[in-house]
Amino acid sequence: MQFLVRRLGFYVVAAWAAVTVNFFIPRAMPGNAVDSMMAKFPNIQPQAEKALEAEFGVGHQGSLLHQYWVYLGNIAHLNLGTSVSLYPDKVTSVLASTVPWTLALVGTATVISFTLGTLLGVIAAWRRGGWLDRALPAFTLLQATPYFFLALLAILFFSVDWHIFPVSGGYTLGLQPGWNLSFIGSAVWHSLLPALTIIATSMAGWMLQMRNVTITTIGEDYVLAAQAKGLSSRRVIFTYAARNAILPNIAGFALAIGFVVAGALVMEIVFSYPGVGFTLLNAVNANDYPLTQGIFLVISFAVLFACMIADVVYVFADPRARTRQAY
Amino acid sequence: MSVAAPLQADARTQQSAAPVWRRLRKSMPLKAKIGAVIFGIFILIAIIGPAVAPYDPSATTTQTQAIAPNIHHLLGTTSTGQDVLSQLLVGMRSTVVLGLMTGVIATTISVLVGVTAGFLGGSADEGLSLFTNVFLVLPALPLLIVVLGYIRTGSLLPVAIVLSALGWPWGARVIRAQTLTLRNRDYVLAARETGERTWRLIIFEILPNEVSLIAANFVSTVLYALLTSVALAFIGLASFSGWTLGTMLYWANSQEAIQLGAWWWYVPPGLSVALLGMSLVLLNFGLDEIGNPRLRDGGRRKIKGARWRASDPTPVIREAL
């Protein structure tokens, strides 16, 4: 329990750091939201500048400390401001329409990739020197290839040449987003190729780590004892060796989630998928500071949340973590 | 190994000249050797590339179509007549230099933070570990997109610094953990008893035992810098005044090389990044095997003609009487 409490303290600090980084980024950069708004709509009267400054919360607003305080208050009230590039949409409403896409696709793909990779890693260690084990360097080659390059080739072959999957987008244009069968079917259909490319590139990492740790665990005395008892090879591998070998993989999951999100951002850009990554790039290119900040904040909190889940799972999986001090 | 015999005899006489190198070469796993050779070739291209590039990589002609590889343009041209081979040769240098620069900066920070936290312990460790872990969970790529979206610079150093600032925590964690296990070893305690200063303990007792770990960390940081910088350039967040493998891919994609079927335009840079990445992965495979002996041999053994795996029960063999 102490472990979880200490970790919770850590997450509070991490969340504070993310919020603070987010506060300083636009202030350290040249230009502000009003400037880009004025540049975007040349026919705005100069007198409107004051009104816009008030709306976007820039301009002269007292000391930095005061601004920081106001900013924290705004975040606590989920008031993330107004988007410049998608004016007059609120940042929160833009997020509400993009986050579910990313979450559904990336979440599912990550869980599949982790489960499959871990399982194949155990099998590679079990059948060491077998075909799966020898194919592992080929899997890691997929990991060393730039994700977008692989994704572009996948689009070229599967979508452009063979017409198996749609080329880009999140759903067939013309369909109205909603909970009806034709829309959901279309969304699932569009998500298959992106999901497959994410799984293909990220699986090798889990697999390699699981294999290496399992091989190391197989050499432990308690595994030898299990074998000496005459248990079946399968039982020894899965309930003795893999049971403990999975711990570093779970701990690694919390740390790797950031990389997963990174890969997902590039995926959305390549596939023009209507999620947060695609929107983030557009917001950055349009100097849309409020939206950029909002998206960064959401991604940071999503990563922290995923880490927290991994921590809780870890406590259940590793009895030592329940008594040991936090790292 | 009959061919190698005279070489070995030769090695014995020159043992004092380069004993470490020869020992390394002999003990290095095959995967690491392949990785090192490929990586060496890329370094060579990075050094001589711009000098041997046959054309100015940015020079355009009046043509409107990408030309397939021919005797004048060994890797063909882009749709504006730029020579792909020259772009590749020139771009390789910036990409490799950026990767190495980030590797050096980030690894230095990792070692400084990791060793300090691990060796000093106590509240210094608590503080530095917290700092490291916070950096670790901050999502790097979105932050890079945000920061690099605002500072678009032509020189490599600022980009390397930003990449390093977000790439060091992983290594720092691993090195801290290793330092923690080393600092209470008997030989370190003995050195401490003889009155050696802290900095001597760290440099002469701790660090030499972390060399393989630091090397592995360096290699993975270079891989991270390579893949991240190429991805960032590809999505348009880079300076386009010079050539890198990433900007090559960006132009190829934005000028629809893939739709036009101009494979000679996008495959060379993509494949180069993949090969460079693979060489780094192979190097790390090898370093893993050096650090963890259990991973070393193939694992498949034959005992009395029967196949045996490490996960199988110890075989009991009846000797023929």
pLDDT in tens, A175-186: 666 666 677 777
Q: Which residues of B touch A219 (CB under 8 A)?
A: 294, 310
Q: Which residue of A has its CA nearest to B227?
A: A146
CB-CB under 8 Å, B235 with A262: no
Name the nearest CA neighbour of A51 among A76, A26, A77, A88: A88
**Chain A with chain B: Cβ pairs closer than 8 A:** 172
CA distances from A142 to A197, A205, B31, B51, B140 (A): 10, 10, 17, 32, 21
- Inspect the interface and report whether the beta carbons of A266 and B231 lie closer than 8 Å: yes
Query: CA of B184 to nearest chain A CA: how many angstroms apart?
Result: 18
Position B313 confidence tier, pLDDT thresholds 50, 70, 90: low
Query: What's the rounded Cα separation, in Å, for the pair B262 and A80?
Result: 45
Considering only CB atoms, B145 lies closest to which of A18, A227, A284, namely A284
The segment with the largest mean pLDDT, out of A78-82, A311-315, B2-6, B248-252, is: B248-252
- Give the tokens for residue A290: 């409020």
Cα–Cα distance, A101 to A205 (Å, whole number): 25
Angle B279-B224-B237 from CA coordinates, rounded to 5°: 120
Strongest mean pLDDT among A55-59, A80-84, B138-142, B166-170 = B166-170
Distance between CA A112 and CA A69 in Å, rounded?
41
Q: Which residues of B are less than 8 Å from A295 in CB distance?
A: 142
CB within 8 Å of chain A, chain B residues 146-165: 146-147, 149-151
pLDDT at B26 over 70: no
d(CA B184, CA B190): 10
Residue-wise pLDDT tens digits, A264-321:
778 888 888 888 888 888 887 777 777 888 888 888 888 888 878 877 887 787 777 6
The nearest CA of chain A is from the CA of B63 a distance in Å of: 25
Mean predicted lDDT score pLDDT of chain B: 77
Residues of chain B found within 8 Å of residue A145, distances taken between Cβ atoms: 270, 273-274, 277
Q: Please state the separation of Cα A75 from the chain's center in Å.
A: 21
Residue with tokens 């090695």: B11
Average pLDDT for A68-83: 76
If you average pLDDT over residues A68-76, what whole number do you get? Answer: 78
- Give the pLDDT band (50/70/90) at residue B8: very low
Q: Is the ipTM above a cut-off of 0.90?
A: no
Long-range CB pairs of A66-71 (<8 Å, 24+ gap) are A68/A20, A68/A23, A71/A23
Contact at CB, A258 and B236, closer than 8 angstroms: no
Question: Residue B151's CB: how many other CB atoms inside 10 A?
Answer: 14
Looking at residues A234-239, what average pLDDT do you find? 85
The pLDDT score that the predictor gives to residue B75 is 74
List Cβ neighbours of B285 (8 Å cut-off, separation of 6 or more). Answer: A137, A140, B29, B31, B32, B35
Closest chain B CA to residue A146: B227
Across the range A233-245, mean pLDDT stands at 84
| Segment among A32-36, A82-86, A135-139, B134-138 with least mean pLDDT | A32-36
A181 touches chain B (CB under 8 A): no
Q: Is the peptide bond before B57 cis (omega within 30 degrees of 0)?
A: no
Tell me what the pLDDT averaged over chain A comes to. Answer: 77
**b vs e for A246-281, b when ≥16 Cβ sit within 10 Å of the residue's Cβ?**
bbebbbbbbbbbbbbbbbbbbbbbbbebbbbbbbbb
Element (H, E) at A256: helix A242-271
Q: What is the pLDDT of residues B162-182, one digit of tens each?
A: 888 888 888 888 888 888 878
Which one of A140, A299, A307 has the shortest CB-CB distance to B281?
A140
> Touching check for B267 and chain A: CB below 8 Å?
no
Name the residue among A30, A148, A300 with its Cβ closest to that of B231.
Answer: A148
| CB within 8 Å: A18 and B138 | yes
Angle between helices A242-271 and A147-154 (to 10 degrees): 70
The type of residue at B62 is T
Which of B147, B258, B309 faces A128 most closely, judged by CB atoms?
B309
CB contact under 8 A, A227 and B313: yes
**Per-residue 3-state assignment (H helix, E strand, C coil) for B236-252:** CCCCCCCCCHHHHHHHH
- Could you tell me if A83 lies within 8 Å of chain B, comparing CB atoms? no
Rounded distance, CA B314 to CA A215, Å? 16
Amino acid found at B51: A
Measured between CB atoms, which of B130, B230, B314 is closest to A13? B130
Q: Please check whether residue B270 is in contact with residue A146, taking contact to mean a CB–CB distance below 8 angstroms.
A: yes
Instruction: Tell me which chain B residues have a C-beta less than 8 angstroms from the C-beta of A148.
Output: 231, 234-235, 249
Q: Which residues of B touch A248 (CB under 8 A)?
A: none
Q: Which residues of B touch A133 (CB under 8 A)?
A: 299
Inter-chain contact B150–A295, Cβ cutoff 8 Å?
Answer: no
Judge: domain B30-48+79-293, CATH 1.10.3720.10.
yes
Give the pLDDT mean for B229-257.
81
Cα separation, B100 vs B280, whole angstroms = 12
For chain B, domain boundaries: 30-48+79-293
A101-121 pLDDT, tens digit each: 887 888 888 888 888 988 988
d(CA B230, CA B238): 9
Q: Convert the pLDDT of each residue in B84-130 to its tens digit.
A: 788 888 888 888 998 999 999 999 999 998 888 888 877 888 888 88
Cβ contact (<8 Å) for A266 and B137? no
CA distance B152 to chain A (A): 11
Return the residue of A nearest to B150 by Cα.
Answer: A29
The rounded distance, in Å, linking the Cα atoms of A255 and B137 is 7
In chain A, residues with a C-beta closer than 8 Å to the C-beta of B230 are 146
pLDDT value for B7 = 42
A137 vs B282: CB contact, 8 Å cut-off? yes
Which tokens in the block code for residue B113? 């933070």
* Better-predicted residue by pLDDT, A291 or A26: A291
Asked if B43 reaches chain A (Cβ–Cβ under 8 Å), the answer is no
| Token pair in block for residue B236 | 């348009």
In DSSP notation, B293-313 reads: GGGTS-SEEEETTEEEETTSP
